[in-house]
Amino acid sequence: MKQSLSNFGLSETHKLQAIIHNTCQRCGAIIQQDWIDDYFRLYCKDCEAFGRIVEGDVLFRYHRPLIKKNHLLKLEFELSNEQIKASQYLLNSVISQHIGYLYAVCGAGKTEILYETIFHFLQKNQVICFSIPRTDVVIELSKRLTKIFPNTVIKPLYNKEKDDSLADIVVSTVHQLIQYYEEFDLLILDEADAFPYKSNDLLTRLVKRALKPDGAFIMMSATYENHELKAIDKKNLPIYQLPARYHQHQLDTFTIIYVDEVMKMNQSITIHNDILQWIISKLNASIQLMLFVPTIAIGTLLEQSLKRHGLNCLNVSSVDHHRAMKINQFRANKTPILITTTLLERGITIKGVHIGIIDASHVVFNRHTLIQIAGRVGRHKASPSGEIVLFTRRMNIEIKAAKKYIQLMNKEAYNRGLINNDL
Ligand SMILES: [Zn+2]
């Protein structure tokens, strides 16, 4: 069901108090005693960003109309043997246990692995949600699924796009799940290790509440924490590990270059010479570069510095309204360098790209972020590897952990015969 604070004039609307027994009926939060407004009424602080819910408010829930149709699965290319195995495993898991976990490295082809499961639910005229923390990925994935399921109504949902009418598949940010209560028969949570989902109680609740009580849940991630894996193991829940990419080449690991400081703050700010020389060497070899920076401010300084050296580059961040256009320009190889914050740590595939991480020991580059950034290289079969250079003042525990992860995944992939040495 959908839920909102206003009545849409639908006849079959179910009305309920928004706060019952100190519990918010929209997000499930337990209302604390000090969550009191100027009129001494209790309100829900947890979901306030979606419009404040106050004691005495009424919440409306109603069924979304859907039209039965003949769905079609149109694969663009065949899955690898390992992808087929993973696909069968997850399908069987959700049918028999209503739950499944996929633990797959970046570039394993996670989305493709789910097509059969999605199709299975569609054929039963059931409703599906594909939920991802990031808006940019929501839009991309929605377009991609539309090609694979041409007869299916698929709608993206994010802060500026709220139309889900007649959608059999909703591709949604996790935040937008606030609109649903026990709506979906299948809910797939992708990139469960990404900000802002990770360790966010509100978002965790929204995912659970959006799923029907007998619905099936799939969680996908490239990196699970040890305690998460232990919990899955302890409960004997089905998890499929895919340590190799679909093209059977190993994951590239980091090259570390120590620099005392990334920028020299003279009269005109200049980039460290070692970084500059590495960038120039890549450009001379006609290689496109993504340069990850820890902050928007450093991105701006880097852009100015590179331009002073006569280098053509684009700079994107979450506050940049032209980012989609710039990314498309980079994708079309019209510019050789794209400077970005961790905004683009996932969901972007550029053939043949190499990566530089500037100030890699900065606190924003945790192990999950570093693993995702490293996962941007070598995603194409025709260009299966690339350089990932960390420019850093020092080694830290996050860099070590990310490096170890890549080594372990490669080892596991070798042991299972998923890396082809003849390639
Ligand atoms: Zn709430």
pLDDT tens-digit map of 144-199: 999 999 999 999 999 889 999 999 999 999 999 999 999 999 999 998 877 677 77
| Long-range residue pairs from 79-85, CB within 8 A, at least 24 positions apart, any chain | 79/109, 79/112, 79/113, 79/246, 80/109, 80/246, 80/248, 82/242, 82/244, 82/246, 82/418, 83/108, 83/109, 83/112, 83/113, 83/242, 83/246, 85/240
Q: What spacing in Å lies between the alpha carbon of 216 and ligand 1's midpoint?
A: 24
- Centroid of ligand 1 to alpha carbon of 51 (angstroms): 9
What 160-169 contacts at long range (C-beta under 8 Å, 24+ apart), as own/partner pairs, is 164/2, 164/64, 165/64, 166/65, 166/66, 166/67, 167/64, 168/66, 168/69, 168/71, 168/122, 168/125, 168/127, 168/128, 169/118, 169/122, 169/127, 169/128, 169/129, 169/130, 169/145
Sheet with strand 2-4: strands edge to edge: 2-4, 58-62, 14-17
Residue pLDDT, tens place only, 103-147: 999 989 899 999 999 999 999 999 999 999 888 889 889 999 999
The answer to whether residue 394 scores a pLDDT higher than 80 is yes
Tens of pLDDT, residues 194-231:
767 777 899 999 999 999 999 999 999 998 888 889 99
What is the reported pLDDT for 251? 95
* CB-side neighbour CA atoms (13 Å) of 70: 0
The mean pLDDT value for 67-96 works out to 94
CA of 29 to the centre of ligand 1 (A): 5
Contact (Cβ atoms closer than 8 angstroms) between residue 163 and residue 8: no
| Architecture field, domain 81-242 | 3-Layer(aba) Sandwich (3.40)
pLDDT 10s digits, 268-287? 678 899 999 999 999 999 99
- What pLDDT score was predicted for residue 265? 64
pLDDT over threshold 90, residue 318: no
Indicate the pLDDT class of residue 263, thresholds 50, 70 and 90: confident
Whether 10 has a pLDDT exceeding 70, the answer reads no
**Residue 223 alpha carbon to ligand 1 centre in Å:** 29
Note the pLDDT of residue 423.
Answer: 60
How far, in Å, is the centroid of ligand 1 from the Cα of 30? Answer: 8
Q: Do domains 81-242 and 254-415 have the same CATH topology?
A: yes
Q: For residue 329, give the amino acid letter.
A: Q
Q: Which pairing describes strands 14-17 and 58-62: parallel, antiparallel, or unpaired? A: antiparallel
Please report which residue ranges of 70-178 form alpha helices under DSSP H.
81-97, 110-113, 115-123, 135-148
Lowest-pLDDT choice from 6-10, 162-166, 264-268, 298-302: 264-268
Distance 57 CA to ligand 1 centre (A): 12
> What pLDDT was estimated at residue 200?
86
Cα 206 to ligand 1 centre (Å): 10
Strand partners for 61: 3, 14
* pLDDT reported for residue 211: 98
> How much distance in Å is there from the Cα of 25 to the middle of ligand 1?
7
DSSP 222-272: S---HHHHHHHHHTT--EEEE-S-TT-PPPP-EEEEE-S-SEEESSSEEE-
267 pLDDT more than 70? no
Cα-to-centroid distance, 102 and ligand 1 (Å): 30
What b/e sequence results for 81-97 when a residue is b if at least 16 CB atoms lie within 10 Å of its CB, and e otherwise? ebbeebbebbbebbeee
Residue 249 has pLDDT above 80, yes or no: yes
Work out the mean pLDDT of the chain and round it to a whole number: 92
CATH number of 254-415: 3.40.50.300
Tell me, in angstroms, the distance from the centre of ligand 1 to residue 37's CA. Answer: 14
Please state, for a pLDDT cut of 70, what percent of the chain lies above it: 97
Residue 391 Cα, ligand 1 centroid: separation in angstroms? 43
Report CA(2)–ligand 1 centroid distance (Å). 15
Q: What is the pLDDT of residue 11?
A: 63
Q: How far is the CA of 399 from the centre of ligand 1 (A)?
A: 38
**Ligand 1 midpoint to CA 53 (Å):** 7
261 pLDDT exceeds 90?
A: no
Q: How far apart, in whole angstroms, are the C-alpha atoms of residue 391 and residue 419? A: 29
State mean pLDDT over 347-373.
Answer: 93
Å from CA of 290 to ligand 1 middle: 40
Centre of ligand 1 from the C-alpha of residue 10, in Å: 23
Tell me the β-bridge partners of 315. Answer: 339
Q: From ligand 1's centre to the CA of 22, what distance in Å?
A: 10
Per-residue model confidence (pLDDT) at position 192: 81
For the chain, the domains span 1-63, 81-242, 254-415
76's tokens: 């663009």
CA distance 351 to 385: 10
